[in-house]
A and B are shown apart, each in its own frame.
Chain A
Amino acid sequence: MDKTEPPAIRESTPAPVSTVLRGSQSKVPALLFWLLGAALLFRIATGILGRGGKDSGAGLVRWQPGIAAPSAAAASHRPVLYDFTAAWCAPCHLLDSEGWSDSSIAALVNDSFVPARVVDRSREDGTNLAWVAEVQQRYSVSAFPTLVVADPSGRQLARMEGYMGKERLVAFLAEAKKKAGK
C-alpha cells in the first residue's frame, strides 16, 4: 500500500467581489495623476508668464501699454487707437473674439495705429488706475466698448461707441486712418 500522502488540497477563500473589482476594474491609471501634475505645473507657468505682461490684451492685435501709447505714437508718427473696455462687458468680448481676432483687421490695426487697451476695473475693484481714469475723463468715455483714435498730441480724430459687427469696425478703422492722413 502506498503510504505517501496525497497532496494536500489547500482551501482558498474566494476573494470578496469588492476586492476583485478594486484590483482589476477599479484601478485608475497612474498616468492620469502624472498628467494632472503636468497640467498643474503648466497652469502655474502660464500664470507667471501672464503676470509678466506677455499675455495682455486680446486677439491678434499687438497691444501697447496704454500709459506709453502717446510717446510710442509720436515716435512712430502713427495715431493711437484706444480700446476702452471692461471685463464684464459682453460686447467687448465679442469685439475681442470677432474683431481683434480677425487676421486682416489685426494687420490693419498693427500697421496703421498704436493700439492701446484701457481696461476699466471700477466695478470689480471699486476704483481705476490713475492713468485709466485720466484717459477715460479726457475722452469722456461713458460706455463700453468705445474706440477712440487720437493723434500723438492727444487730439481726438475719430470715435466709435459700441460694437456693431466686423464690417462697421473695418469702415471705422479705414475712416480713422484716412483722417489721420496715413
Chain B
Amino acid sequence: MARRFLRQKLGSAGTVIALALMAVIAALPLNAGQGFAGLDTLAMLVLAAGCVSRDAASGALQMILSRPIRRVEYLAGRYVGLLVSFVLFLALSVLVAVTLGQIVARIAPGPVPGTRSAADFGTICAGALLQGALLAVIVLFFSTFLRGWGDVLAVAVFAILFGSLRSLGQALRLPAMARAGELARDNLSPSVSWETVLHGQKILGEPTGRYILALVLYGTLAAVIFSRREFSYGQD
C-alpha cells in the first residue's frame, strides 16, 4: 500500500513539480537558520490531500478492499507512504540548501554567515518530520469520512476556528472563550518545540504528552471509522 501511494504521488507531474518548487524555496530559510518557514506544513498538505477519499471516489478503494487485506493495513500503508514521501521532500530541501550554500561559499569572498552544519539540518528535519507525522494522521482521519479535498479543508477550518475563538475571546475580554480556544488548539493540534526535545530537554514535557495522545487518538479514530464505513461504487 505504501508503494502504491508513492507511485500515485510521484507519478503525478503536478505534485512532483509543486514539491520540487517548495523544496527550492525552502532552501532559503533553511540556510538562514529559520527552519522550513511553514513550507513543510504546506508540502504535507499537498501530499496528504485526499489520501483516502480520492481512492474511494475513483473506485480504486473498492477494488483494493475486494482483496484479502485488512482495512487497517490499507490505512497504515497510506500513512507510511505519506511519511516516506515527506522524508523525500525534506531530503530534497536539504540537498538544495547545501548545494546553494556551497555555491554561495565559492562565489562570495570570506566567511559566509549562517552556514549550517549537518547536525543542524538533521535536527530541523527530524522536528519537521515529527510535526508532519501529526499533520498526516489528522488529514488521514478526516479523509476517512470526508469527500474529495474535504480533509485538507477541515484541517484549515479547524486551525482558523481555534485561532479565531482565542482571538475573539481576547478581543471581547472573555477569558473563558479565549481559554477554550487555547485548550482546543493545544490538545487537538498540539505543537512541540522539537529542537528543545531533540536536544534531550523536556522530553517528558506536557507538549510531548499532548502530541503523543493526539497522534494515537487520531490514528485510532481513523482506523475505527474507516473499518466501519460502507463503500459502494458511484456514491463517494
Query: Taking beta carbons and an 8 Å cutoff, which residues of A are in contact with B?
Result: 24-29, 32-33, 35-36, 38-40, 42-47, 49-50, 55, 58-60, 87-88, 96-98, 101, 103, 123-126, 166
Cβ–Cβ contact A24 & B195, under 8 A: no
Chain B 201-236 residues near chain A, CB threshold 8 A:
201-202, 204-206, 208-210, 212-213, 215-217, 219-220, 223-224, 227-228
Query: Taking beta carbons and an 8 Å cutoff, which residues of B are in contact with A?
Result: 33-34, 65, 68-72, 166-167, 170, 173, 175, 178-179, 182, 193, 195-196, 199, 201-202, 204-206, 208-210, 212-213, 215-217, 219-220, 223-224, 227-228
Given A50-B206, A123-B178, CB of A96 within 8 Å of CB of B193: yes
Which of B71, B166, B170, B209 is in CB contact (< 8 Å) with A42? B209
A125 partner residues in chain B, CB cutoff 8 A:
175
Cβ–Cβ contact A43 & B210, under 8 A: yes
Cβ–Cβ contact B206 & A32, under 8 A: no
Complex CA gap A44/B69 in Å reads 36
Complex CA gap A130/B212 in Å reads 36
The 5 closest A-B pairs by CB, nearest first: A46-B209, A50-B206, A43-B209, A39-B216, A26-B227
Cβ–Cβ contact A32 & B219, under 8 A: yes
Given A46-B208, A46-B209, CB of A26 within 8 Å of CB of B199: no
Cβ–Cβ contact B220 & A46, under 8 A: no
Given A32-B219, A43-B209, CB of A88 within 8 Å of CB of B170: yes
B228 partner residues in chain A, CB cutoff 8 A:
26
Cβ–Cβ contact A97 & B209, under 8 A: no
B195 partner residues in chain A, CB cutoff 8 A:
59, 97, 101
Which of A58, A124, A166 is in CB contact (< 8 Å) with B182? A124
Cβ distance B116 to chain A, nearest Cβ, rounded Å? 12
A32 partner residues in chain B, CB cutoff 8 A:
72, 216, 219-220, 223
Cβ–Cβ contact B33 & A28, under 8 A: no
Given A25-B69, A58-B193, A126-B175, CB of A43 within 8 Å of CB of B213: yes
B216 partner residues in chain A, CB cutoff 8 A:
32, 35-36, 38-39
Cβ–Cβ contact B166 & A55, under 8 A: no
Cβ–Cβ contact B193 & A42, under 8 A: no
Complex CA gap A88/B179 in Å reads 11
Complex CA gap A55/B71 in Å reads 40
Cβ–Cβ contact A25 & B70, under 8 A: yes
B223 partner residues in chain A, CB cutoff 8 A:
28-29, 32
